[in-house]
Amino acid sequence: MESELESMRQYFKSGNTKDASWRLSQLKGLLLFIKENEAEIFKALKEDLGKPPVEAFRDEVGTLIKSINFALKGLKNWMSSQKIKLPKIAVSSYAELVPQPLGLVLIISTWNFPFGLSLEPLIGAIAAGNTMVLKPSELAPACSSLLANVMPTYLDTQAIKVIQGGPSVGEQLLQQKWDKIFFTGSARVGRIVMSAAVKHLTPVVLELGGKCPAVVDSLSSSWDQQVAANRIVVSKFGNCTGQACIAIDYILVEKKFASTLVELMKDSIKNMFGDNPRDSNTMGRIVNKHHFLRLKNLLSDLAVKKSVVHGGSMDENNLFIEPTILLDPPLQAEIMTDEIFGPLLPIITLEKVEDSIDFINSKPKALAIYAFTKNEPFRRRMVAETSSGSLVFNDAVIQYLVDALPFGGIGESGIGKYHGKFSFDTFTHHKAVARRSFLVDFWFRFPPWNVHKLML
């Protein structure tokens, strides 16, 4: 590994990856890989996660094509130096910010969106002109194998390598010296990454998870109620069956509106996944037995089980868990303290929708907060009084698709941001460059200061 990484460092020094033409050619190679292998990508996602092809296109293939095209279009502009306006006192001086690649970077990704979460940061690392190693997750082996065995035939393998493996390979990689580490996964491994980075003072981006709440106001129009229920259901149960870092983890709703919301969500579930979701071809599967048992265990507590108002059936052989709604499970139960990352949706009732602000603020900072409301003063309070990676009103998960918005967490949900130009910036050093003419200087710059003089 060491000698391979050393040759990648030497390759970076050769300057090849810094040229705009190299960056453009690699982004185009990535695009071609995705387009020419669409069927294989769908097949791998089906194999690893039971992802239906339309969901696979919407969340991974289509999203990546959009992101690569965005980078291709913006690259020349992103790469150009930015002239800096100086104060008048800096007479006859010039300053600029010069974007430069960092060097050799490491990307460790996870399994729930195995292509999206590997390639979205890779787009940024390529656009910024780095050399890079990608380690995808061992828990989505068909997808990782496609990334490791097919994708490189479209790319410059002296600069871009894919290394497959689990935690031990991850640990070996973390021992090496990198110019940046970009990690997507759990807070537990995020801590391991950060500790390892300390040794070389390597900057890190940590894209972690946590519990993302959705506040639902007592909406009065039946249209708004139905739209909210549909959007909640599709973004909770339709995004890899809730195995998404920005999936709604739990709902906060006023007591008086809770039963209406439950009924509406039951209808939405039926409309999207049929009478028997197990037989529908529109629902993915839990990634493996370990996660299936983890989720099953969340329902094992008697008080939690009693709170199930919809669903709850499971099929271990098929790694299937029915979309499940729980009403007021105990707040100290694991389902309300740990990230769920699956198709279980607790609803917590409150007296007033405004109480949700204190509730949210009593928990670690979330990657995302959602609020379905038309109440403008409440909206303003949510913006001003809560802290999270993102805040979305009247929908969920869509912020992931917006290139113009940064994606990332705060506090325990992560460090750093990416997507669109933010990905380029994440893998770039914006060097401060200043230049002065030899003409003018000010007397007060040079001691002794008791003599008023003007130096020319």
Q: Which residues bind ligand NAD (CB under 6 A)?
A: 108-112, 117, 135, 137-138, 166-167, 170-171, 174, 184-186, 189, 192, 207-209, 245, 339, 341, 367, 409, 414
Q: Distance of CA 241 to CAs 58, 249, 335, 343, Å?
A: 14, 12, 16, 5
The set of residues, in sequence order, having a beta carbon less than 8 Å from that of 193 and lying 6+ positions away, is 108, 174, 181, 183, 204, 206
Helix H or strand E segment including 286: none
Q: Between residues 97 and 391, which has the closer beta carbon with respect to ligand NAD?
A: 391
Q: Between residues 203 and 274, which has the closer beta carbon with respect to ligand NAD?
A: 203
Q: Distance of CA 207 to CAs 84, 120, 378, Å?
A: 31, 12, 29
The set of residues, in sequence order, having a beta carbon less than 8 Å from that of 180 and lying 6+ positions away, is 102, 105, 106, 130, 202, 203, 204, 205, 426, 427
CA 440 to chain centre: 50
Burial class (CB in 10 A: 0-12, 13-18, 19+), 186: middle
Q: Distance of CA 288 to CAs 219, 251, 293, 400, Å?
A: 38, 26, 9, 25
Catalytic residue among 143, 245, 254, 412: 245
Q: Do 105 and 427 form a contact (C-beta atoms < 8 A)?
A: yes
Helix H or strand E segment including 419: none
Q: Is 245 marked active-site?
A: yes
Q: Between residues 23 and 417, which has the closer beta carbon with respect to ligand NAD?
A: 417
Q: Is 207 marked active-site?
A: yes
Q: Do 387 and 363 form a contact (C-beta atoms < 8 A)?
A: no
Least distance from ligand NAD to the Cβ atom of residue 392, Å: 15
What six digits make up the tokens of 376? 């403008």
Least distance from ligand NAD to the Cβ atom of residue 48, Å: 12
With CA atoms as reference, report the closest residue to 207 among 35, 399, 412, 424. Answer: 412
Least distance from ligand NAD to the Cβ atom of residue 262, Å: 26
Question: Whole-angstrom Cα distance, residue 405 to residue 402?
Answer: 6
Q: Between residues 112 and 386, which has the closer beta carbon with respect to ligand NAD?
A: 112
Least distance from ligand NAD to the Cβ atom of residue 335, Å: 15
Least distance from ligand NAD to the Cβ atom of residue 46, Å: 19
Least distance from ligand NAD to the Cβ atom of residue 133, Å: 12
Q: Between residues 118 and 268, which has the closer beta carbon with respect to ligand NAD?
A: 118
Q: Between residues 32 and 192, which has the closer beta carbon with respect to ligand NAD?
A: 192
Helices (H) and strands (E) in the chain, counts: 17, 18
With tokens 């759990």, the residue in question is 186
Least distance from ligand NAD to the Cβ atom of residue 50, Å: 17
Q: Between residues 257 and 418, which has the closer beta carbon with respect to ligand NAD?
A: 418
Nearest position to ligand NAD, beta carbon: 209
With tokens 């709902």, the residue in question is 251
Burial class (CB in 10 A: 0-12, 13-18, 19+), 177: middle
Q: Distance of CA 375 to CAs 80, 166, 392, 410, Å?
A: 43, 47, 14, 26
Catalytic residue among 55, 207, 339, 412: 207
CB-CB neighbours of 351 under 10 Å = 9
Q: Between residues 29 and 409, which has the closer beta carbon with respect to ligand NAD?
A: 409
Single-letter amino acid, residue 360: I
Least distance from ligand NAD to the Cβ atom of residue 158, Å: 24
Which residues are part of the catalytic machinery? Answer: 207, 245
